Amino acid sequence: MVLDVNKKKYKVIGTRPIRHDGYDKVTGRAQYGADLKLPGMLIGAVLRSPHAHARIKNLDTTDAEKMDGVFAVMTAKDLPRLTDAERGNSEESGSEKHLSENVMAFDKVLYKGHVVAAVAAKDQNTALEAVKKIKVEYQILKSVTNVDQAMAPGAPILLEDFSGDHLGKKVRKTNIAAHVRHNVGDVDAAFKKAELIIEKEVNMQTVHQGYIEPHNATAVWDEEDRIKVWTSTQGAFDVRDSVSKVLGLGVSRIRVTPMEIGGGFGGKIPIYLEPIAAVLSKKSRRPVKAMMNRTDVFDATGPGPGGKVKVKIGIDSKGKMLAAYADIRLEAGGYPEAFIEAAAKCVFSCYEIPSMRIDAYDVLVNKASSAPYRAPASPQVAFATETVVDEICLQKKFDPIDFRLMNVATKGTRTALGPKYRTIGLQECLEAAKNSDQWKSRLDSKPSSGKKRGRGIASGYWFNIGFKSSVNLALNSDGIVSLTEGSTDIGGTRASIAMQAAEVLGIPAENIRPTVVDTDSIGHTDVTGGSRTTYATGYAAYKAAYKLIDEIIEKAALKWDINKNDVEYSDGVIKSKTDSALTMTIQEIASDSPGGPIVSSASVDLEEAGGGFAVHIVDLEIDEETGKTDVVNYTAIQDVGKAIHPSYVEGQMQGGAAQGIGWALNEEYFMSDDGVMLNSSYLDYRMPISLDLPMINTIIVEVPSEEHPFGVRGVGEPPIVPPIPAIGNAITNALGLRLLSTPMKPSRIIEALKKEN
């Protein structure tokens, strides 16, 4: 269902064409990173630390080097030593030294799975055998695997040369990489006026993005010190920049070709194998392909941070929120950061609260360095806030939607970080929730003996970044337009970008042929992530399409020998405004274009696009004997601004909901006492399967954003935010008790039920 607030009619936008890369993907032709084969290619394999925290005392690669079939061996000594000063605490300005050491440890390992060496050999099995021959002497150190352990006095320090930034003060010998604070109004005075104050603390386990395709990278380092890299990545230009830093080479020496990618969700933004494949290629003078296995992916690639979030909200006698406080502590893993600024931005984002204070801590622990995971840190903080909101509603007998509407964030609401919202659609989402079939349906709380049902609702938010994108267009003699862009396509964005160009040009979506190209073939394009792709690359396509029209008009004017102001273009047809005999199609002008082929190009560097809000409703059935929880009904409501391709928008809503459900009910890293993940396989890291989920109903709300010509907002990230609190609230509704830890797995439910009785 699509609820369009402004009822604008489009020709292509809002339709559901078959995606342009679809045929290759359903026939097995599409080339993902691991599918690439180059003549003479060797296989790279890495040696990983078995210890969560240790000093490397000695590293001996001699036996591996001597092995038959081994062509190169590398250690961190093959990488330049980077010594930049620590910079700010955002994704864009991380330390280069940390970037390099995360790729390959120099003198210390900070998590089990941390890479210490690598080999290139004639085939996979030889490479794996060679890795076993590398001898490493470790001095094992005590490890910490959660925020409490890491922040405790006397905790082992992970980064010994590093200074944490604690509210502006540089602090050494700390695992708190950063402590930031945000303050609006006067919380202390406001809490004193509150009639009711509810405070809850939630505890979240580490989770993984869970993409089915493990990481891969292939590289060729040639005689001119130019490097070609092929990799499944969310951002080819990001890879280029990062590899350039780690190897100490200029960016233009590196060409990155993004292969098709088997899922990312943020986890394929950081680099892992690319510099390793490159150095092995340099040393062996052959192409080298390196791939991770599933255990490596769990042990050593950035998870979504676990941690603790405490939220306190005070309301007046009518139910208006007066004050809110949050204490957010998230695991950064071995290196900063843990997205605490994003956490601060999101924690109170759904509400208008005059006084707010947030303390957020970025905490180093002996786990793989946290990577973005779909709305990083927003699900964690939403769990806390929406639990408090639900508790307020329970105690005051407020309707959950009416209470949220009473305090809803809207245009002009001041956010916790300071700026006021521009146009947003949370209110419309809450109203759509109220009118939804699921909300209006009766829930049988005791469907059969031993089973209870409950309903929960929660809101969530994610902003979306804009940044840089570039698009090139070329008009072919058959009237088909080739579109090249640099945004890797994880979920159908090739189509949504092409559709925006098609809309401007007034031609069918099938008449645009989009291709994702390498970093030498297109202008800088930032990552496919942050919910920016349909928004920003689409905007670049929109601009390029208008420029193409200008070109078409100019060429037509030239051809007809009239003034270009006399020429108009519409839906693939060019006409003279004054002489009705002068008319031609774009095929005709393209086949005979005076002065050169008809091409255009455009680029953007955009601000955030308005932000997306989501409201989810879940009905659960819980077996009181086993604790097993089934999702029996689910509705995801989200303001997407404008759904360019509704099927893929629905797909994002359903996929995000599914990940959130897994996070809420089953997913977690089981850590041993010495910091090793014990469930590093898909068998024991339990993600939802087709039997775990019902059909996921979607309601698309469209409150256009002010920042995009079609009103597009980012869609990909908001839907993972509400599921955890919605499920927590449904469990409370069913059983009358509240769980404050994820996952809310069967054993926890049983334990809680036992405590109640």
Partner 1 sequence: MIKVFLPYKIREILDVPVEIEAEGTNLRGLIDYLENMYPGVKNQLVEDDKLRPGMSAVIDGRTTRLGLIQKLENVSEIHFLPAIAGG
Partner 2 sequence: MNNQGKVKKVAISTTINGEEMEILVDPYISLLETLREIVGITGTKEGCNDGNCGACTVSIDGRIVDSCLVLGVEVEGKKIETVEGMATSEGLHPLQQAFLEEAALQCGICTPGFLVSAKALLDNEPKPSEERIRHWLAGNLCRCTGYDKIVKAVKKASN
Q: In the complex, which residues of this chain contact partner 1 (CB under 8 A)?
A: 87-93, 165, 167-168, 180-183, 265-267, 269, 339, 341-342, 345, 371-376, 417-422, 462-467, 527, 529-532, 605-608, 707, 717
- CB nearer to partner 1: give 650 or 707: 707
- DSSP-assigned letters across all residues of 499-524: HHHHHHHTS-GGGEEEEE--TTTS--
- DSSP-assigned letters across all residues of 98-112: HHHHHHS-SSEE-ST
- CB nearer to partner 1: give 165 or 260: 165
| Residue 318: DSSP 8-state | T
Among 2, 11, 15, 16, interactor with partner 2 by CB under 8 A: 16
- CB nearer to partner 1: give 412 or 595: 412
Q: From the CB of 476, what's the least distance to partner 2, in Å?
A: 24
For residue 350, the number of C-alpha atoms closer than 13 Å in the C-beta half-sphere is 34
Among 398, 421, 546, 682, interactor with partner 2 by CB under 8 A: 682
Among 140, 152, 189, 212, interactor with partner 2 by CB under 8 A: 212
Closest CA relative to residue 757, chosen from 628, 629, 625, 619 = 625
3-state helix, strand, coil split of the chain in percent (to 5) is: 30, 25, 40
Of 80-88, 194-202, 460-468, 680-688: span binding partner 2 (CB under 8 A): 680-688
Contact flag: residue 683 with partner 2 (CB under 8 A): yes
Please report, as residue ranges, which positions from 23 to 42 form the binding site for partner 2 (by CB under 8 A).
23, 25-32, 34-35, 37
For residue 361, the number of C-alpha atoms closer than 13 Å in the C-beta half-sphere is 21
Q: From the CB of 550, what's the least distance to partner 2, in Å?
A: 34
Q: Are 461 and 432 in contact (CB under 8 A)?
A: no
The size of the chain, in residues, is 757
Q: From the CB of 637, what's the least distance to partner 2, in Å?
A: 15
Q: In what order do the strands lie in the sheet with 216-221?
A: 70-75, 115-121, 42-48, 288-291, 216-221, 227-231, 254-258
Q: Which of partner 1, partner 2, none sits in contact with 659, Cβ below 5 to 8 A by type?
A: partner 2
Buried b (16+ CB within 10 A) or exposed e, 216-251: bbbbbbeeeeebbbbbbbbbbbbbbbbbbbbbebeb
Q: From the CB of 157, what's the least distance to partner 2, in Å?
A: 35
Q: Residue 511: which residues within 8 A CB-CB, separation 6 or more?
A: 479, 480, 481, 502
Tokens 């992530």 -> residue: 529
Contact flag: residue 659 with partner 2 (CB under 8 A): yes
Q: Are 637 and 699 in contact (CB under 8 A)?
A: yes
Q: Which of partner 1, partner 2, none sits in contact with 92, Cβ below 5 to 8 A by type?
A: partner 1
Q: Which of partner 1, partner 2, none sits in contact with 605, Cβ below 5 to 8 A by type?
A: partner 1
Where on the phi/psi map is residue 561: left (φ > 0), alpha (ψ -120 to 50), or beta?
left
Round to whole Å and give the CA distance between 581 and 575.
8
Q: Which of partner 1, partner 2, none sits in contact with 651, Cβ below 5 to 8 A by type?
A: partner 2
Question: Rg (Cα) of the chain, in Å, rounded?
Answer: 27
- CB nearer to partner 2: give 16 or 628: 16
Round to whole Å and give the CA distance between 243 and 497.
28
Round to whole Å and give the CA distance between 499 and 117.
46
Contact flag: residue 651 with partner 2 (CB under 8 A): yes
- CB nearer to partner 1: give 36 or 177: 177
Contact flag: residue 373 with partner 2 (CB under 8 A): no
Q: Which of partner 1, partner 2, none sits in contact with 263, Cβ below 5 to 8 A by type?
A: partner 2
Q: Within a 10 A sphere around the Cβ of 447, how many other Cβ atoms?
A: 12
Numbers of helices and strands, H then E, in the chain: 20, 29
Q: From the CB of 88, what's the least distance to partner 1, in Å?
A: 3
- CB nearer to partner 2: give 214 or 376: 214
Contact flag: residue 294 with partner 2 (CB under 8 A): yes
Q: Are 433 and 560 in contact (CB under 8 A)?
A: no
Q: Where are the beta strands (DSSP E) in 607-755?
A: 612-623, 629-639, 696-702
Q: From the CB of 751, what's the least distance to partner 2, in Å?
A: 27
- CB nearer to partner 1: give 530 or 660: 530
Q: Which of partner 1, partner 2, none sits in contact with 267, Cβ below 5 to 8 A by type?
A: partner 1
- CB nearer to partner 1: give 30 or 417: 417
Q: From the CB of 276, what's the least distance to partner 1, in Å?
A: 23
DSSP reduced 3-state for 355: strand
- Token pair for residue 207? 């989770």
Q: Which of partner 1, partner 2, none sits in contact with 269, Cβ below 5 to 8 A by type?
A: partner 1
CB-count exposure of residue 419 (10 Å: 0-12, 13-18, 19+): exposed
Among 168, 223, 420, 691, interactor with partner 2 by CB under 8 A: 691
DSSP bridge pairs for 45:
119
Contact flag: residue 655 with partner 2 (CB under 8 A): yes
Of 162-170, 275-283, 582-590, 642-650: span binding partner 2 (CB under 8 A): 642-650
- CB nearer to partner 2: give 31 or 139: 31
- CB nearer to partner 2: give 264 or 454: 264
Buried b (16+ CB within 10 A) or exposed e, 378-395: bbbbbbbbbbbbbbbbbe
Round to whole Å and give the CA distance between 355 and 191.
9
Q: Which of partner 2, partner 1, none sits in contact with 99, Cβ below 5 to 8 A by type?
A: none
Tokens 């990983």 -> residue: 48
Instruction: Tell me the per-residue interface mask from 383 to 422 with partner 2, x by CB under 8 A, - otherwise.
Output: ----------------------------------------
- CB nearer to partner 1: give 13 or 604: 604
Contact flag: residue 537 with partner 2 (CB under 8 A): no
Q: Which of partner 2, partner 1, none sits in contact with 682, Cβ below 5 to 8 A by type?
A: partner 2
Contact flag: residue 721 with partner 2 (CB under 8 A): no
- CB nearer to partner 2: give 212 or 573: 212
- CB nearer to partner 1: give 420 or 754: 420
Q: Which of partner 1, partner 2, none sits in contact with 530, Cβ below 5 to 8 A by type?
A: partner 1
In the complex, the residues that contact partner 2 under the rule CB under 8 A are 16, 18-19, 21-23, 25-32, 34-35, 37, 124-125, 209-214, 260-265, 293-294, 490-492, 645, 647-648, 650-652, 654-655, 657-659, 681-683, 687-691, 693, 695-696
